[in-house]
Amino acid sequence: MPACKVIVAGAGGRGRAYANYIKKHPDEGTVVGVAEPIDFRRETVATRHNIPAENVFTDWVDMAAAPKFADAVMICTQDAMHTAPAIAFAEKGYHILLEKPMAPTADECERIVAAVKKAGVLFAVCHVLRYTRYTQTLKNLLASGAVGDIVSIQHLEPVGYWHQAHAFVRGPWRNTAESSFMLLAKSCHDIDWIHYIIGTKCKSVSSFGSLKHFRKEEAPEGSAERCLDCRIEPTCPYSAKKIYLDRFEDGLRGWPLSPLADGELTMEKLTDALRTGPFGRCVYACDNDVVDHQVVNLLFEGDLTASFTMTAFTQMRGRETRIFGTRGELRSDSSDIEIYDYLTETTRTIDTKATAGDITGGHGGGDEGLMHGFLAALNTGEASKVLTGPDETLESHLITFAAERARVENRVVDL
């Protein structure tokens, strides 16, 4: 059977990463089209995948309007730009891989799910955490009774102090109106993961959180509007010079430097970006409004409970989880899994060789697992290879929307 043909709508970091997987695995698929408004990104994908000129577009609308010329589309536009292309490509008969989150509102998510179901196309959302070796190992251990029945879960997402400054204070996901609220933009992964691990429906949710630190009231005395002009910059852990220029001098050439400039990175390009662009702003002088810390409490069927914490104020590392069961306790850091058995009072450790703390490395293998599963489903017709289909994804998104409503309205929300 010939490998499936795939097109890319949105050739930013995620679109190029998924396309690169296909390039490395030509037996699984081929990239045959791209739509991207930014010249460098569009041309990079077109050249790397030898895409003919007639299949290269500046706008996804034109690509969707063309006669269908592939099996599937990978929609990797910005968060608030998912609904229209998802519906349009579904109506055209394309199978769809959609970057998370599905959409910034529950109504739009429901419209997307309705469209893909009506069209009868395969649909996968990029909740990559489900696809890691770590998650699948953990899921199998729990299913085997490693801790007995699950009673409760504690889950931490340590966003990382400089990652928060990069993406959620200075970057594209800093402002709710322009993208989405923090829990949806960053942590719908985690809400979905908890839901997947517990495996039952969520009944109720409460949440607290705020933008505590990254605001003008917290600015140190003497700080400037931009890091390059700031006399106290050497004492600031969120310094743009430290996050970008120092890393460049240390030899880094990829993310988080890559969003600052297209093409080959140079010190001159990066310095100019810090002087004129959004990534050079003081973290206390941006137009950000998303929270920098949040806790979520979840009640699932069967009286199972879970607590989730997202916080900016950590070093960069993998997510941390504790699972409390009737026969044992499990601790993990997205790589090592420790299980303490109440009966034998012994501990065993499983190393899954994951690297989820390094988000430059493909989410601990989740990117690769997602793409392999999606392409395998396309090539074999086995939809079960997709772990994040429309129903599962909609349910976890609705939990996320309910959690944000609980935070904003300061109440318990029943689902």
Specify the pLDDT at position 364.
Answer: 65
Domain boundary among 280, 309, 327: 280
Amino acid (1-letter code) at residue 18: Y
Q: Which residues contact 395 (CB under 8 A, 6 or more apart)?
A: 195, 201, 202
Question: What are the φ and ψ backbone dihedral angles of 17, each rounded to 5 degrees?
Answer: -65, -45
Whether 31 is in a domain gets the answer yes
Question: What are the φ and ψ backbone dihedral angles of 310, each rounded to 5 degrees?
Answer: -115, 125
The domain tally of the chain equals 3
Domain boundary among 256, 280, 304: 280
Specify the pLDDT at position 262.
Answer: 85
The pTM of this model reads 0.93
Domain boundary among 232, 252, 280: 280
Whether 388 is in a domain gets the answer no
CATH of the domain at 88: 3.40.50.720
Whether 310 is in a domain gets the answer yes
Helices (H), ranges, 25-59:
39-48
pLDDT above 70 for 133: yes
**Co-location of 224 and 305 in the same domain:** no
Query: How far is residue 125's CA from residue 184's CA, in Å, rounded to a whole number?
Result: 13
**Co-location of 355 and 409 in the same domain:** yes
* pLDDT 10s digits, 201-210: 999 999 999 9
**Co-location of 299 and 403 in the same domain:** yes
How many H helices and E strands in the chain?
14, 15
Specify the pLDDT at position 363.
Answer: 60
Q: Which two tokens stand for residue 296?
A: 């979520």
**Co-location of 407 and 296 in the same domain:** yes
Specify the pLDDT at position 183.
Answer: 97
* pLDDT 10s digits, 278-330: 999 999 999 999 999 999 999 999 999 999 999 999 999 999 999 999 999 99
Whether 266 is in a domain gets the answer yes
Q: Domain containing 257: what range?
A: 216-280
Specify the pLDDT at position 175.
Answer: 95
**Co-location of 151 and 47 in the same domain:** no
For residue 359, name the pLDDT band (cuts at 50, 70, 90): very low
pLDDT above 80 for 145: yes
Per-residue b or e along 103-134, where b marks 16 or more CB atoms closer than 10 Å to that residue's CB:
bbebebbbbbbebbeebebbbbbbbbbbbbbb
Whether 378 is in a domain gets the answer no
Q: Which two tokens stand for residue 99?
A: 């970057």
Whether 137 is in a domain gets the answer yes
